[in-house]
């Protein structure tokens, strides 16, 4: 009962990784409140139907949160198939807005766990663009921000995760989180068998997805990712902060070997 007595919010709880994370956190003793734009997923202590793609949507969701929570798991995301602007809006600016609005609800020692992706691997190579886009505060006109930064339509998904990986490291040191004793961490899955994987095949092509699955040894399942998120919410992870944990069967190691030549 690693999470006994904790109150944990899980976004994206209606499907895939979020559904399994919510279910597992509840099995480990937490009161879990799911958030999703559609119904579904496991039966939980609470469920808030809401949309993370606008500030108004975020405000409506946070207004229903309990006064004190222990962890926010930011799992909801889009594949890129709906377009770059909606994808960056949900995967980065919406996630950040929800996290910022939730910070004061989180108890000291609590955590914000962001589901990023191996797809965000390019954050260092594209650092100046990522810095500039993360520096845009609030919930911006995302289409205008993408235009200002010359972002191609196909870059929406990887870019959203590059921004998230950079922001996770920045947020861990921001007073808003740090002074409240809130850890901010990311988890980067490799390819995982969920409905989004079919969309990745459309966006990135079968070859890219199949190559990633081959490098990882097999496709993952939500059950490969949920325990990592649950652990990061627990007190056992109390000194893990501002970092990224790959849960990808070794895919990042293979990408490093290729990119860095070892
Ligand atoms: N499956 C993979 O291969 C893989 C790999 C790396 C990272 N990820 C990341 O894992 C996370 C979860 O993906 P998944 O594989 O479980 O996909 P999924 O499609 O099964 O689940 C995503 C959930 O997010 C919800 N959602 C989307 N937009 C929303 C919005 N605006 N407001 C509220 N809820 C919204 C959806 O309704 C859905 O229930 C995503 O952030 C994704 O980028 C997935």
Q: What is the pLDDT of residues 195-221, one digit of tens each?
A: 999 999 999 999 999 999 999 999 999
CA distances in angstroms from 51 to 17, 37, 62, 174, listed in the order given: 18, 5, 11, 26
The two structure tokens encoding residue 81: 């198939």
Phi and psi (nearest 5°) for 39?
Answer: -75, 160
pLDDT of 172-185, one tens digit each? 999 999 999 999 99
pLDDT of 131-151, one tens digit each? 999 999 999 999 999 999 999
Helix then strand count (H, E) for the chain reads 12, 7
Residue 77 has a pLDDT of: 98
**Structure pTM?**
0.98
Catalytic residue among 47, 157, 167, 177: 157
Q: Which domains does the chain have, with CATH numbers?
A: 7-260 (3.40.50.720)
Residue 171 has a pLDDT of: 98
Distance (Å, whole) CA 218 – CA 249: 8
pLDDT of 28-60, one tens digit each? 999 999 999 999 999 999 999 999 999 999 999
> Tokens 């579904």 appear where?
40
Task: Measure 77 CA to ligand 1 centroid, in angstroms.
Answer: 4
Residue 190 has a pLDDT of: 97
Mutate which of 44, 192, 196, 252 for ligand 1? The one with the most ligand atoms within 8 Å of its CB, which is 196
Residue 16 has a pLDDT of: 98
């Amino acid at each position: 009962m690693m999470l006994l007595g904790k109150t944990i919010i899980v976004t994206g709880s209606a499907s895939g990784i979020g559904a399994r994370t919510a279910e597992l956190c509840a099995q480990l003793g937490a009161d879990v409140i799911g958030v999703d734009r559609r119904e579904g997923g496991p039966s939980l202590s609470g469920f808030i139907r809401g949309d993370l793609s606008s500030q108004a949507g975020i405000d409506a969701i946070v207004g229903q949160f309990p006064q004190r929570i222990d962890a926010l798991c930011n799992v909801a995301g889009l594949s890129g198939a709906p377009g770059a602007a909606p994808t960056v809006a949900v995967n980065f600016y919406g996630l950040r807005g929800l996290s910022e609005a939730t910070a004061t609800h989180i108890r000291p020692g609590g955590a914000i766990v962001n589901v990023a992706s191996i797809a965000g691997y390019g954050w260092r190579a594209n650092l100046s663009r990522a810095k500039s886009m993360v520096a845009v505060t609030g919930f911006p006109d995302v289409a205008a921000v993408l235009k200002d930064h010359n972002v191609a339509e196909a870059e929406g998904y990887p870019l959203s995760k590059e921004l998230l990986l950079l922001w996770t490291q920045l947020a861990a040191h921001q007073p808003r989180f740090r002074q409240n004793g809130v850890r901010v961490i990311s988890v980067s899955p490799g390819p995982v068998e969920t409905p989004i994987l079919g969309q990745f095949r459309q966006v990135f092509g079968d070859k890219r997805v199949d190559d990633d699955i081959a490098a990882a040894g097999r496709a993952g399942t939500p059950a490969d990712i949920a325990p990592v998120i649950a652990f990061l919410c627990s007190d056992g992870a109390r000194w893990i902060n501002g970092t990224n944990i790959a849960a990808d069967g070794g895919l990042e190691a293979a990408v490093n070997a290729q990119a860095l030549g070892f």
